[in-house]
Structure 1
Amino acid sequence: MTWPSRVHNDKGRAAPARPRGAAPISTLIDRRGLLAAGLAASLAPPAARAAAPPIGFKPLSPLIGPVEALPEGFKRTIVLRWGDPLWSDAPAFAPGALTAAAQARQFGYNNDFTAILPLPSGDPSGGLLVVNHEYPTPYLMFPGVSATDGTTTLDDEQLRVCMAACGMSVAEVRRTNGTWGVVVDSPYNRRITATTPIRISGPAAGHPKLRTGADPTGRWVLGTHDNCNGGVTPWGTVLSGEEGSAEFFGGDWRDAPDLERLKRGYFTNLGPHGRYGWNRVDKRFDVGHEPHESNRFEWVVEIDPLDPTAPPVKRTALGRFAHEGAHSVVAPDGRVVVYLGDDWEYEYCYRFVSRDVFNPHDRAANRDLLDHGTLSVARFAEDGTLDWAPLVFGIGPLTPANGFAGQGDVLLETRRAADLLGATPMDSPEGYEPNPMTGRVYIALTGVDARTRAPNPANPRRANPGGHILELVPPDRGQGPDHAADRFAWNVFALCGDPAAPGSRARFHPDAGPEDWFEAPDNLSFDAAGRMWICTDGPGVRQHDGVWMMHTSGPERAWPRLFYSPPPGSECCSPAFTRDGKAMFLSVQHPAERSPSLDQAATRWPDFTAGHPPRPSVIVIERENGGGLA
């Protein structure tokens, strides 16, 4: 088989159980974008209408070409590269002699979600870096392999290296003599791979469809993979979203039981070895050999960076689908709300509200807070309202008559349950995060390459390769935005793409210049000033990926400025800011991915050593004068 590039091409085609209607297209952009914006503004707290902070940098031109670039007065430092040892007993990176044992002690591959957490001591010169490792790219990891060779060319050890390169890393980092670097042998350092024991908790734990020959309890699973975006909880743990698992499995799905479930999870696109060939060295990744193993992935994984001895936990109450991220906020009544997006074409936006309240004084009391609560799915209306429909067994169509025997079934088949509730199909929901200054919630929708469903109020363009950003407004009843409310307001914040392109209908700030636009919004982050930072993923031939900044309020609302341009063939992921606002940590993922092989890599960033592979890395960006980013 051929390894298709994962750059913007990892979206599936959904097949909802029933067709969706379409509102008149003439009303969806112009009237929705203007009238609903007024409704949203009327519901917003005063802080949302305050003046915006300054830009803080001279924007780059997006036409600079495929080179790494920063604004004047800023510097970037490589903090961790694929293969860097986290412990002194780990070997140095040896690109011609990779082993699974070494990789399990080294920084993983294709870093995505990035969080920088304070140390327990509060020392601002250090922190805990928590990073997802989404997927391997074998033809850029090993010499003699090409994108057209397929998984059968890899030997068993190379396949195991790929398994060890996925998952997560935790590393203590410290700023010494003005430069950030990893603290080798820190007691906090940790690797979580495709073979790390992980506990399964919540309503689906122990479900018969989670039981396997190796785990008859259905409560433990080996490993995590396809870890895309994530989030940090109010009590300082990290949530990691398993974005997909179909391509990690092989075998003959046609003879597998529960075929309809496999189809709804896009397993019908599998070849005999999937995309990565893991079933050649581990039969649990063969859907015919172990049909329940795939049910144990596509959850949200919670880890405690402060306790390396605590096993990771898959929180089934948050649903099973292609999790892009999991960003949380505390509602006025103390309950924790987690926003979750299913990152496939025509899938849905979700929200989880905990049953119990957050205890800010006892970290241990929050340990299982995410095991109990209500998962809901969004239904967007043309009048500018959004209703959250609960995915609860026994309510509405979620009954035995439709094949659900309990809440575990509802969570295992979250997508089908959402189909039955009439959820609004979305154009690939990715970044999904509340602004800490205003309480408004923003959803980045990367777009659809070729629409096969009718547009709807929240996804209004018939052609939407550029994607868009929505703004959700929780009601404020005097105690702050109520993220647990049953009904929100919403509006279209930006329609992405080139406004000058015929038929694009792109829309940003009306005064934005001809270079002030982007496509394919992916990750969203907010700094302490409430500025939104957007990472793009595969914007096409007219631009390169980058990090853009936009204000969400004030006179320059929705005016994009380019801040960072990464090396060729890469995307940026998950800007994360230190508490003092002086540093941005950022993942640079899959450099040179569009190249046909390691021998013909478009770049060998960041080492630029002949014969060496390009290395996905975490960087940190700071001002040269040591001041704040804002």
Structure 2
Amino acid sequence: MTEPTRTRSQDAEDREDIGTNTSVNATFGDVVAARFDRRDLLRGLLGVGAIAAVVTPRALAAGSARAADGAAASPFPFKEIAAGSDERHHVAEGHDADVLIRWGDPVLHGAPAFDPRNQSAAAQGQQFGYNNDFVGYFPMPGAADPAAHGLLVVNHEYTNEELMFPGLGRQDLKSVAFAGMNAELVGIEMAAHGGSVIEVRKTGGKWAVVPNSPYARRITATTPMTLTGPAAGSERMKTKADPEGRRVLGMINNCAGGTTPWGTWLTCEENINYYFSGKLAEDAPEAKNHKRLGIPGNAYAWGRFDPRFDVGTEPNEANRFDWVVEIDPFDPASVPKKRTAMGRFKHEGAAGIVSKGGRYVVYQGDDQRFDYVYKFVTEDAVAADASANRDILDRGTLHVARFDKDGRGTWLPLIFGQGPLVPENGFASQADVLIQTRLAADAVGATKMDRPEDVEANPKTGKVYVMLTNNASRKPEQADAANPRGDNRFGHIVELTPDDGDHAARGFAWEILVRCGDPSIAAVGATFSSATTKDGWFGMPDNCAVDAQGRLWVATDGNSASRTGRNDGIWGLETEGAGRGTAKHFFRVPNGAEMCGPYFTPDDATFFVAVQHPGEADEDDPNAKPATFEAPSTRWPDFDPSMPPRPAVIAITRRGGGRVGS
């Protein structure tokens, strides 16, 4: 029997392809199908037949509209790069893409040099962690140029032991059963999770990490944190180690995130189920809620060496993860706070915007097939004095989205005692509603989505963009004329318009901006503008960023030579005017990597992006060899035979200065 090519992270992605949502709520595909009737399709309402019926007509007509109006200049005038796959990264002509910091580089003062063959938990706890996802930038107070000197905050999502450790290979295979893992290796993994705070400065047009910065910090899977908000102190949060239910060690699987107007970092726990193992009795109090979150996931050996990750030993420990964590990056001694009022699910992002009335609204996706889109609205308005907002995220209302067939939608509040959220349905308090957010959203009738990831608001236009990565679990028999892809492998992007331009409003309008995939293959049903080139289309939208000009940039996760003929990367996507729905390829990652963390400095002169898990094998290529420490698909970014591939953050700038992408 040959060794599987797939890495643990790729197998974990497959497991997430199987939704844990067994509710009878409508899927987004059902809603889309109901929105467009057969008469519209037959009379060619959208101009390209039934295959295009899920996308706004403005996107489909964009190419011809732009051709007819030569004055309609693209907001993305850069020269597009070619789509493709190789072991290096590529950026649009006229730009530089410089590696800023890599896995193992020093973060704290006195951190040892990276030695991949002699790693230790103590060293990793002082060095830059693994698999960098979200990146956020905070201008340095009092800096001469706030866009050239600040703090960078970075999430470290998960670890790939087969690429990190020499001679180890895949450990989660049934035939291996973590035989090579030990307490020291697990300790290194724990130290490689969490996040990093680094001080950065641009000098002579080039960025560098400021060494020995007083702001430098590593946060790991064992950093003490506080639970706050309605679920803190709940019986379901209490453990043997924490009988008060208010203190927890660490954050794990931190994916996307956000930054707040009062200068804090919101980092989001996502697939925390992977880290828990053991067995829980079917009639145990937490059995139903754990199952809804896929706990235990049995993808790591942590439960063998730390009993809190064994659900049989400590069934409540998992309830203390899957939250949004708020961190003050300017105070390395501050205690991170898990804000339970914002809900518990597999968070992908926590991007916020101030509403018309001054309240803070945080949009969030639940990153699994057939799960939901959420928003949290604070009770209080954002104060001018940043210190007054210190605990603003502990009070407010969590909502989940219902999409209706008429192109309207409603944000449904998740409040104990309202509607079905009552004791007879398993909700005895607001703490219960929040600890089992998914079950609460099931109960109120939210719309099942095709794997919601990043959700970002555009301050320039008031629109909100929802990245729906894919849903390979949609069965062929569920396809219909208006939703022809029974196997939605390429995903799509939904645009929301809040009522009265108020992000705190309960109602919104929706439409699909683009449906992703190769437009040249009719059966795929992609709906990019006809002005999009063969290099410009993409699949699997994941993270996104809106720059100071209001331009939307999309990062992808899941493209490969075998799947789409291109590696993941960044695309500029037009959302307004004659060019609506036109995508343009700007940056490409090396083999095996995922594109993450797009974030701009305030002047748009620097675009920070994150490249994670470089070196993985092409999961869709049956002839690809398994990727290991000794034989990765690339040795990016060092290309040194003695070095493994290293996840890294890149700073993209325009040669000669100016706005990136211009």
- Give the TM-score normalised by the residue count of structure 1: 0.93
Q: 1:267 aligns with which of 295, 300, 308?
A: 295
Asked if structure 1 preserves the Cα contact closer than 8 Å seen for 2:474 and 2:488, the reply is yes
Alignment of 1:168-567 (within 5 A): 168-254=195-281, 257-267=285-295, 270=297, 274-360=298-384, 362-452=385-475, 454=478, 461-476=485-500, 481-540=501-560, 541=562, 542=564, 543-567=566-590
Asked if structure 2 preserves the Cα contact closer than 8 Å seen for 1:52 and 1:554, the reply is no
Asked if structure 1 preserves the Cα contact closer than 8 Å seen for 2:163 and 2:629, the reply is yes
Q: Which moved more, 1:299-308 or 1:457-466?
A: 457-466
Per the TM alignment, residue 150 of structure 1 is displaced from its structure 2 partner at its CA by 4.8
| Aligned amino acid, residue 442 of structure 1 | Y
Q: Which moved more, 1:400-409 or 1:494-503?
A: 494-503
Asked if structure 1 preserves the Cα contact closer than 8 Å seen for 2:52 and 2:525, the reply is no
Per the TM alignment, residue 567 of structure 1 is displaced from its structure 2 partner at its CA by 1.1
Q: 2:98 aligns with which of 63, 73, 77?
A: 77
Per the TM alignment, residue 36 of structure 1 is displaced from its structure 2 partner at its CA by 10
Question: Aligned partners of 1:366, 1:457: CA distance in 2, in Å?
Answer: 49
Equivalent residue number for residue 594 of structure 2: 571
Asked if structure 2 preserves the Cα contact closer than 8 Å seen for 1:427 and 1:459, the reply is no
Q: Does the alignment pair 1:88 with 2:119?
A: no
* Secondary structure of the corresponding residue to residue 549 of structure 1: strand
Do the aligned partners of residues 345 and 457 (structure 1) sit closer, same or farther apart at CA in structure 2, a change above 3 Å counting?
Answer: farther
Per the TM alignment, residue 27 of structure 1 is displaced from its structure 2 partner at its CA by 4.9
Per the TM alignment, residue 176 of structure 1 is displaced from its structure 2 partner at its CA by 2.8
Asked if structure 1 preserves the Cα contact closer than 8 Å seen for 2:466 and 2:495, the reply is yes
Per the TM alignment, residue 456 of structure 1 is displaced from its structure 2 partner at its CA by 10
Per the TM alignment, residue 381 of structure 1 is displaced from its structure 2 partner at its CA by 0.6
Q: 1:19 aligns with which of 24, 28, 36?
A: 24
* Secondary structure of the corresponding residue to residue 325 of structure 1: strand
Equivalent residue number for residue 67 of structure 2: none
* Secondary structure of the corresponding residue to residue 324 of structure 1: strand
Question: Aligned partners of 1:607, 1:538: CA distance in 2, in Å?
Answer: 24
* Secondary structure of the corresponding residue to residue 226 of structure 2: strand
| Cα RMSD after superposing both structures | 2.3
Question: Aligned partners of 1:188, 1:565: CA distance in 2, in Å?
Answer: 31
Per the TM alignment, residue 154 of structure 1 is displaced from its structure 2 partner at its CA by 1.8
| Aligned amino acid, residue 491 of structure 2 | G
Do the aligned partners of residues 299 and 378 (structure 1) sit closer, same or farther apart at CA in structure 2, a change above 3 Å counting?
Answer: same
Question: Aligned partners of 1:422, 1:456: CA distance in 2, in Å?
Answer: 23
Question: Aligned partners of 1:174, 1:623: CA distance in 2, in Å?
Answer: 16
Asked if structure 2 preserves the Cα contact closer than 8 Å seen for 1:17 and 1:416, the reply is no
The count of aligned residue pairs is 610
* Secondary structure of the corresponding residue to residue 271 of structure 2: coil
Equivalent residue number for residue 9 of structure 2: 6
Asked if structure 1 preserves the Cα contact closer than 8 Å seen for 2:20 and 2:293, the reply is no
Question: Aligned partners of 1:458, 1:332: CA distance in 2, in Å?
Answer: 36
Question: Aligned partners of 1:239, 1:457: CA distance in 2, in Å?
Answer: 41
Question: Aligned partners of 2:411, 2:118: CA distance in 1, in Å?
Answer: 52
Question: Aligned partners of 1:356, 1:288: CA distance in 2, in Å?
Answer: 40
Asked if structure 1 preserves the Cα contact closer than 8 Å seen for 2:600 and 2:606, the reply is yes
Per the TM alignment, residue 69 of structure 1 is displaced from its structure 2 partner at its CA by 1.1
| Aligned amino acid, residue 490 of structure 1 | W
Per the TM alignment, residue 602 of structure 1 is displaced from its structure 2 partner at its CA by 1.2
Equivalent residue number for residue 55 of structure 1: 76
Equivalent residue number for residue 129 of structure 1: 152
Asked if structure 2 preserves the Cα contact closer than 8 Å seen for 1:253 and 1:267, the reply is no
Asked if structure 2 preserves the Cα contact closer than 8 Å seen for 1:426 and 1:458, the reply is no
Equivalent residue number for residue 55 of structure 2: 33
* Secondary structure of the corresponding residue to residue 578 of structure 2: coil
Equivalent residue number for residue 47 of structure 1: none
Per the TM alignment, residue 459 of structure 1 is displaced from its structure 2 partner at its CA by 7.7
Question: Aligned partners of 1:51, 1:209: CA distance in 2, in Å?
Answer: 57
Identity of aligned residues (%): 47
| Aligned amino acid, residue 629 of structure 2 | L
Equivalent residue number for residue 41 of structure 1: none
Q: Does the alignment pair 1:158 with 2:166?
A: no
Asked if structure 1 preserves the Cα contact closer than 8 Å seen for 2:35 and 2:406, the reply is no
| Aligned amino acid, residue 33 of structure 2 | I
Equivalent residue number for residue 632 of structure 2: 601
Per the TM alignment, residue 626 of structure 1 is displaced from its structure 2 partner at its CA by 2.1
| Aligned amino acid, residue 280 of structure 1 | R
| Aligned amino acid, residue 11 of structure 1 | E
* Secondary structure of the corresponding residue to residue 411 of structure 1: helix
* Secondary structure of the corresponding residue to residue 152 of structure 1: coil
Question: Aligned partners of 2:480, 2:448: CA distance in 1, in Å?
Answer: 8
Per-residue CA distance 1:602-621 (angstroms, 9 max, x = gap) = 11111111131111000101
Alignment of 1:109-124 (within 5 A): 109-124=130-145
Per-residue CA distance 1:184-231 (angstroms, 9 max, x = gap) = 211111111000001000000001010000000111100001000000
| Aligned amino acid, residue 607 of structure 1 | D
Question: Aligned partners of 1:456, 1:253: CA distance in 2, in Å?
Answer: 40
Per the TM alignment, residue 179 of structure 1 is displaced from its structure 2 partner at its CA by 2.3
Question: Aligned partners of 2:483, 2:178: CA distance in 1, in Å?
Answer: 37
| Aligned amino acid, residue 590 of structure 2 | P
| Aligned amino acid, residue 250 of structure 1 | S
Per-residue CA distance 1:554-582 (angstroms, 9 max, x = gap) = 22121111101111100111211112221
Do the aligned partners of residues 459 and 379 (structure 1) sit closer, same or farther apart at CA in structure 2, a change above 3 Å counting?
Answer: farther
Q: Which moved more, 1:218-227 or 1:449-458?
A: 449-458
Asked if structure 1 preserves the Cα contact closer than 8 Å seen for 2:197 and 2:329, the reply is yes
Per the TM alignment, residue 30 of structure 1 is displaced from its structure 2 partner at its CA by 4.9
Question: Aligned partners of 2:73, 2:481: CA distance in 1, in Å?
Answer: 28
* Secondary structure of the corresponding residue to residue 338 of structure 1: strand
| Aligned amino acid, residue 502 of structure 2 | D
Asked if structure 2 preserves the Cα contact closer than 8 Å seen for 1:497 and 1:518, the reply is yes
Equivalent residue number for residue 46 of structure 1: none
Question: Aligned partners of 1:459, 1:239: CA distance in 2, in Å?
Answer: 35
Per the TM alignment, residue 33 of structure 1 is displaced from its structure 2 partner at its CA by 3.2
Question: Aligned partners of 2:375, 2:531: CA distance in 1, in Å?
Answer: 35
Q: Does the alignment pair 1:610 with 2:641?
A: yes
| Aligned amino acid, residue 126 of structure 1 | H
Per the TM alignment, residue 435 of structure 1 is displaced from its structure 2 partner at its CA by 1.0
* Secondary structure of the corresponding residue to residue 326 of structure 1: strand
Question: Aligned partners of 1:489, 1:198: CA distance in 2, in Å?
Answer: 39
Question: Aligned partners of 2:23, 2:482: CA distance in 1, in Å?
Answer: 18
Question: Aligned partners of 2:195, 2:15: CA distance in 1, in Å?
Answer: 20
Q: Does the alignment pair 1:101 with 2:122?
A: yes
Do the aligned partners of residues 4 and 597 (structure 1) sit closer, same or farther apart at CA in structure 2, a change above 3 Å counting?
Answer: closer
Asked if structure 2 preserves the Cα contact closer than 8 Å seen for 1:231 and 1:326, the reply is yes
Per-residue CA distance 1:301-347 (angstroms, 9 max, x = gap) = 00011111210000000100000100100001011100011000000
Q: Which moved more, 1:192-201 or 1:587-596?
A: 587-596
Asked if structure 1 preserves the Cα contact closer than 8 Å seen for 2:276 and 2:303, the reply is yes
- Give the TM-score normalised by the residue count of structure 2: 0.88
Question: Aligned partners of 2:235, 2:413: CA distance in 1, in Å?
Answer: 24
Per the TM alignment, residue 65 of structure 1 is displaced from its structure 2 partner at its CA by 4.5
Question: Aligned partners of 2:480, 2:437: CA distance in 1, in Å?
Answer: 21
Asked if structure 2 preserves the Cα contact closer than 8 Å seen for 1:228 and 1:324, the reply is yes
